Structure 1
Amino acid sequence: MQTFGDSYEFTELSLLNKVLKPQQEFEEEKAHYFFQHLRDFTHRKEINLLADGGFKAIATKLVFEFEKLTSSEAVSEFESYGFAKLNYTPKELRTRLSNKEFWLSLLRRERKQVIAEVERAMGLVSARTQKYCGDITYSDYKVSEQQAIEYLERHYLQSPDGKKVSLKEISEHNVSNPYVRFCEWISRVKGFDIVAQEQGHHSMMVSMTVPGYMHATLKKTGRINGKYCGATVKECMEHFNTKWSRIRAKLKRKRIDFYGMRVVEPHHDGTPHWHLLLNCEKRHAKYIKKVFKHYALQESANEKGAEQHRVQFEDIDRKRGSAASYLAKYLAKGMTGLKEEGEGCRHAGDLAADCTRAWASAHHIRQFQQFGGPSVSVYRELRRLKAASNNSILESARIAADAADWAEYWRVMGGFKTSRKDHLIKPIYEQSEIIDKSTGEIIPPNDSRNCNKYGEPKQPSMKGIRIGHQALITRSEGWEVVSSPPQSNGFPRQGEPIRTGGLGLV
């Protein structure tokens, strides 16, 4: 059985016989070219990202090397490795490069992405093999998922007066649970739809895909796309984000307001595409479509099928169903799964959802995002309030949030034409105090003893909400995480679904 692991000593012939020749995807000359570049892609200098078994030793070595460098030297040396760019100042990056846990996290993150891209480039992710992600990516995701469950099962939140709540129990009742997350998103979509109908707005589904040369394999045959340029999933997402930022900037300059939801999901071969449920004033709908089409066709406009498929619009026909019904299948596919035919080689919606989440995890993709509308943070904090308020606006917002009435909550916050900065209720973020257990001393946020593991002041965290000059603290108790002994080795339990079939690497 061939796997990626500590030994990177497979031969070209063994892989050609096992993977490439049976699929007849590569001519011999192309296969040699592929292997010449495979090592460059999977290595960062002397670090083999496929060999996670040695990451602890590598992290220790890197810490020792970087501790001897100045901040500017450390930044320059880090950049020479070719890792993804990190959004830290030179000083912040310097302290992290001297931390073993930081390096372990970084190496494991890079490994997941590299393996997912190698599987995709080799044609192991397609409609004819394994859809959305490869076998190793899927297996690694299931292991990490089980490890997360194990962590939640053996850890608790404990209050200063000794109350304990299981993290597992908490996760089952918040958006960590895919079913709870699905319900919350659906309630928000319905809320947006109610507002759109009340305001007489136009609603449409917008689907965007990347140019054909960024797709790795062909859907009908499962063969490697002869025009594939080698673009990674990350590069595809950068392509979309660039388009989206230009579209939003253009519409903002024209003072055109719009709101809705965005869902990112994989094609059969792991190439991302976007679905947007967009609401706007009817008089702006035609122009918005024109702007989307303009930016979508800036590259390879003459490519076969580009005009028809690069960006597609479907106006919401409420005689056929609400906007929620249009978006529900995309939300379910990335959260809870679909119990219907047409999910390809698996015919199992929950497994398709697992593979979609594994794909998003490997490539660090934010699958769901709201644009426009009121603050979700305030909405969730309002649901923590149990007692009625004397403030009529706050009480109306609390009741709406508690009833999951997103439309009414938005009305109370100011409505469609009110910008986020002018919403009536705002979140409160503060740096937290901590208590020294041995002395009972309260250590303020600016004290050097109240810092993160890198010696930096902790980031402000949510404390409550504010309306006018009135502040309500919703998080007052100083809960801390406590643990119990581990229960297992973190591998999938007996009966846990493991994907098989196709021409995977494991």
Structure 2
Amino acid sequence: MYQLVRDEQTGFEEWINFVPVQSWATAEHIHDDQFIRSGFVDHTKGNYPSHVDLFGYDENHIHIRDLSFLIKPTFNSPCDAVIKALKGHRDFSAHMKRSFIDILKKKDYFTALSTVQAASDRLHQNGYPSTMSDDQIKELANEKAENLRLKISNMKDDVDSCFAYVEHFLSYSGLAFREDEVKKKTKTGELFSLVNRACDPIWWRRQLRRKCALNVELAARDLELVQKHKQVYCSDFSVNRMRERNKSNEIALKETIAYDEDDPNNFFTLHELSAKSVSNPEIRRAEMFTRLRGFEELSKELEHDSVFFTVTSPSRFHAVSKGQVNQKWLDAGSPTAKDAHKYLMRVFEAFRKSIDKQDVKVYGMRIAEPHQDGTPHHHFLFFMKPEHKDFVISEFQRFAMLDSPDESGAKKHRFKAELIDKDKSAVGYIAKYLSKNIDGQHIAKDRNSNLDGVQAAERVVTWARVNQIRQFQFIGSPPVTVWRELRRVREEFKQDDAMFTDLTEVEHLALENVRRAADSGDWKAFCIAMGGIAEKNADAPLRTVYSVPDCIEKLIESGEYSATKYGDKAQARISGLMFKQVFVATRFRTWKTENKEVFLKASQKIMGGVVDWFDALEREQEYQRMAEERYQQYLDFMSYKEEFELYAFDSFAFEAAYSSGCSAQPDS
């Protein structure tokens, strides 16, 4: 227990931690006469020696003197410990200071100090500060990869031993390979590829960025920063760091070229391609609304009911309750946002298994978004047959309330189900949640904070990326990859095409109907053409084909080429679609990427050679024109000379020429 002690003689004050202890004299089972024993000196008695013979002979004496009187009393300021805890955390130190002051006002100094110190320890728990800049992360990644590479190079070519050492090495930095990835590589005999990854600075850079971002967000929740009246949804530090990463990514995309291997003149920057794909928030939002609208139109045609659900995790997952740190959250070991998300996904998976056993089908969408303190909750928009509605609601509620059903507020907040009027738009119920989790467009003000829609969306998207949470999931729909691949095909599938000669007229019409629905952006027609919403993806008439290019496969089989720089086989990429054992090609170009400056420099070099060649031709023609002009001058001169000689040696001709040039005749 700390107490403030004042020295009356000097006037100095100091906080001292008084800890109850037992001595030889105070312990109940030891008598006073047993306190002085061999090896102890009673300094309460006078005439004790000024030195002690430690070795028992005169040649080695160590003289011990009592110099305690030279020690001057010191006073440690309570702020020194706070400054030490804040040191080395860059911009995050200001947030830690704010948290310390807020906790100090509500509680006491030692609670505030211990909270800040615990957060500082979390930020340094892996041997490096999680608040370091991106340049520092790159330097650390290079250092870690180089150190590991040197260690591995000195080891024998034993893959298992090398991998065991790599796992041990990664653990000191708080990193590890996923268990499923290790099992897969072990099964395929490609465990060495994981060792190669751990020796790559780029791999280290990605892992450290994720780890640092997550640690900072966890520390921010520990410091009670993430809540409504402070930093809603996620920490300001994470938002600013994400902005920097987005700017850096945008520059990288603008400086990288994707070009057609067969036609290098056909090239785009990755930034241009990103703007044309679902990576663009506007296109992503438009595609999701298109699919939801298609679901709604299909449900009305089938006369299905629609229900909007909200499911929240138990109290122990919430870091803040009524503006104060939640004691249940502390008692549970401070679960993370990812822990709460996993809990909600287990509830949903149990619910789906239950209704599948009863052959009850639902289709719709799931959206994960954060509470003000960063704890996730899930929204669901489900369409179903009217006779299944009551069972779906009761079954979903049963699984949502299995955990801690009697805690305060559970019945009110943990599960909500709202039947949507058929005269109203079901998409309208989820539209604001969809937009808030993408780019915040068409939202004037966020009702859970004082932010506008765009600002709230930025924080929500940052929250999802930092905590590695999947925001959206469509349920019960045909695979969207088939939809996207068919939208790449603009021309009609003609029956006389050699690719479709094995298809009957009915099968060709079915394939063309799927293509037309995708091309026109009609999700309802696409679902119908793909067999309906009750069909499993494995039973769909069209499925995506993933493959490695044939030339790569041959090189891999021959042992002359490894598909990735780490030595393992390349991940298969989309090459087309399969319909009734007929392959439908959707990708006809082979794209490669190159740095923009390098690509344009190479192009200019090629064109420079062409220009030089044309310049040479031009100069050659110019010289020819100059030669022809000089030659013509020479011919004119020779003609003049011949005429002059003729006039000089033929007087008659001279006179005739002279007389013809005169206007008056001479006298006769």
TM over 0.5: yes
**1:359 Cα shift?**
0.9
* Residue aligning to 2:589: 477
Greater helix content: 2
Aligned 1:359-374 pairs, distance under 5 A: 359-374=463-478
* Residue aligning to 1:455: 567
- Residues of 2 paired with 1:416 and 1:431: CA distance? 31
Conservation of the 8 A alpha-carbon contact between 1:124 and 1:134: yes
Match of 1:206 among 309, 316, 319: 309
- Residues of 1 paired with 2:417 and 2:177: CA distance? 35
* Residue aligning to 2:580: 468
* Residue aligning to 1:498: none
- Residues of 2 paired with 1:388 and 1:11: CA distance? 57
**1:88 equivalent in alignment to 2:181:** yes
* Residue aligning to 1:292: 396
Match of 1:239 among 329, 333, 343: 343
**1:328 Cα shift?**
0.6
**1:25 Cα shift?**
5.0
- Residues of 1 paired with 2:345 and 2:107: CA distance? 32
- Residues of 2 paired with 1:207 and 1:310: CA distance? 8
- Residues of 2 paired with 1:11 and 1:398: CA distance? 52
Conservation of the 8 A alpha-carbon contact between 1:259 and 1:371: yes
For the structure 1 residues 397 and 62, does the alpha-carbon distance in structure 2 shift closer, same or farther, using more than 3 Å as the test? same
**1:372 Cα shift?**
1.2
Match of 2:294 among 167, 180, 191: 191
Match of 2:326 among 225, 228, 236: 225
**1:41 equivalent in alignment to 2:122:** yes
- Residues of 2 paired with 1:16 and 1:375: CA distance? 46
Conservation of the 8 A alpha-carbon contact between 2:436 and 2:443: no
For each residue in 1:196-255, what CA deviation from the matched residue of structure 2 results, as whole angstroms up to 9, or x when unmatched? 22222221111111112211223x5x3323432311111111211221222222222222
For each residue in 1:400-439, what CA deviation from the matched residue of structure 2 results, as whole angstroms up to 9, or x when unmatched? 111111110010011133222111111111013568xxxx
Partner-residue secondary structure (3-state), 2:328: coil
Task: Select the structure of larger CA radius of gyration.
Answer: 2
Conservation of the 8 A alpha-carbon contact between 1:431 and 1:445: no
- Residues of 1 paired with 2:352 and 2:361: CA distance? 10
**1:120 Cα shift?**
2.1
Match of 1:30 among 88, 98, 111: 111
Partner-residue secondary structure (3-state), 2:516: helix
- Residues of 2 paired with 1:448 and 1:302: CA distance? 65
* Residue aligning to 1:489: none
**1:140 equivalent in alignment to 2:274:** no
Conservation of the 8 A alpha-carbon contact between 2:101 and 2:112: no
* Residue aligning to 1:383: 487
Q: Which 5+ residue runs of structure 2 have no aligned equivalent? A: 1-82, 156-160, 496-507, 599-668
- Residues of 2 paired with 1:398 and 1:3: CA distance? 65
- Residues of 1 paired with 2:280 and 2:387: CA distance? 40
Partner-residue secondary structure (3-state), 1:70: helix
Conservation of the 8 A alpha-carbon contact between 1:432 and 1:444: no
Match of 1:71 among 148, 157, 163: 163
For the structure 1 residues 485 and 124, does the alpha-carbon distance in structure 2 shift closer, same or farther, using more than 3 Å as the test? farther
* Residue aligning to 1:499: none
* Residue aligning to 1:503: none
Partner-residue secondary structure (3-state), 2:377: strand
**1:408 equivalent in alignment to 2:525:** yes
- Residues of 2 paired with 1:4 and 1:339: CA distance? 41
**1:421 equivalent in alignment to 2:538:** yes
Partner-residue secondary structure (3-state), 1:270: coil
Question: TM-score under structure 1 normalisation?
Answer: 0.86
Q: Letter of the aligned partner of 1:462 in structure 2?
A: I
For each residue in 1:334-391, what CA deviation from the matched residue of structure 2 results, as whole angstroms up to 9, or x when unmatched? 1120432344554321111111111111111111111111010000000011110132
Match of 2:434 among 307, 331, 338: 331
* Residue aligning to 1:18: 98
For the structure 1 residues 72 and 401, does the alpha-carbon distance in structure 2 shift closer, same or farther, using more than 3 Å as the test? same
Conservation of the 8 A alpha-carbon contact between 2:436 and 2:453: yes
* Residue aligning to 2:513: 396
- Residues of 1 paired with 2:520 and 2:409: CA distance? 46
For the structure 1 residues 463 and 373, does the alpha-carbon distance in structure 2 shift closer, same or farther, using more than 3 Å as the test? same
For the structure 1 residues 97 and 16, does the alpha-carbon distance in structure 2 shift closer, same or farther, using more than 3 Å as the test? closer
Q: Which 5+ residue runs of structure 1 have no aligned equivalent? A: 436-441, 487-506
**1:187 Cα shift?**
0.7
Match of 2:366 among 258, 262, 278: 262
**1:32 Cα shift?**
4.2
For the structure 1 residues 7 and 225, does the alpha-carbon distance in structure 2 shift closer, same or farther, using more than 3 Å as the test? same
For the structure 1 residues 393 and 224, does the alpha-carbon distance in structure 2 shift closer, same or farther, using more than 3 Å as the test? same
Aligned 1:283-322 pairs, distance under 5 A: 283-319=387-423, 321-322=424-425
Conservation of the 8 A alpha-carbon contact between 2:307 and 2:419: yes
Once superposed, what is the RMSD of the aligned Cα atoms? 2.9
**1:283 Cα shift?**
2.0
Q: State the identity as a percent.
A: 26
Q: Letter of the aligned partner of 1:454 in structure 2?
A: Y
**1:72 Cα shift?**
3.5
Aligned 1:266-277 pairs, distance under 5 A: 266-277=370-381
- Residues of 1 paired with 2:292 and 2:124: CA distance? 43
* Residue aligning to 1:356: 460
Q: Which has the higher contact order (CA 8 A, sep 6+)?
A: 1
**1:115 Cα shift?**
0.8
For each residue in 1:94-138, what CA deviation from the matched residue of structure 2 results, as whole angstroms up to 9, or x when unmatched? 332232222221111110111112112212121101211111100
Conservation of the 8 A alpha-carbon contact between 1:445 and 1:458: no
**1:22 Cα shift?**
3.2
For the structure 1 residues 342 and 51, does the alpha-carbon distance in structure 2 shift closer, same or farther, using more than 3 Å as the test? closer
Conservation of the 8 A alpha-carbon contact between 2:86 and 2:96: no
How many pairs does the alignment contain? 475
- Residues of 2 paired with 1:11 and 1:246: CA distance? 40
**1:455 Cα shift?**
0.7
- Residues of 2 paired with 1:11 and 1:182: CA distance? 33
- Residues of 2 paired with 1:28 and 1:62: CA distance? 43
- Residues of 2 paired with 1:445 and 1:388: CA distance? 36
For the structure 1 residues 260 and 468, does the alpha-carbon distance in structure 2 shift closer, same or farther, using more than 3 Å as the test? same
